[in-house]
Structure 1
């Protein structure tokens, strides 16, 4: 599922996200959504979330 639409993402969802420093390499991390940080309904590069463990990244894919 698409990670650019806020309504698709729920707290507790398992997602693949990309951190700011990994945007060039495209390295994805898998995690569980703890908080949704983006306020707008959509974002072209992915909705920003905080994963369990405090990692912040943009959702690329919802698992």
Structure 2
């Protein structure tokens, strides 16, 4: 399993599952392709924040291989 908390593991075009801010409590996941990487730091304890091609923004929970 690829770690979504490490920026080096996330690339534009990757298919990922994210959790949006308003779904953090329920843990509901959305999936899509990464269009932008929004987190500047090398890692983040809750996941790297990305924007998907659909426009959704959230933190990466899983990278789908």
Q: Which TM class, normalised by the smaller chain length?
A: over 0.9
Distance in 1, matches of 2:45 and 2:36, equals 19
What is the CA deviation profile of residues 2-58 of structure 1, one whole-angstrom value per residue up to 9, with x for unaligned ones? Answer: 100000001000001000000000000111000000000000000000001211000
TM-score norm. by structure 2 comes to: 0.95
Runs of 5+ in structure 2 lacking a partner?
none
Runs of 5+ in structure 1 lacking a partner?
none
2:19 corresponds in structure 1 to 18
Query: RMSD over aligned Cα, in angstroms?
Result: 0.4
Distance in 1, matches of 2:52 and 2:13, equals 9
Which runs of 4 or more aligned residues in structure 1 lie more than 2 Å from their structure 2 counterparts after TM superposition?
A: none
Equivalences, count: 63
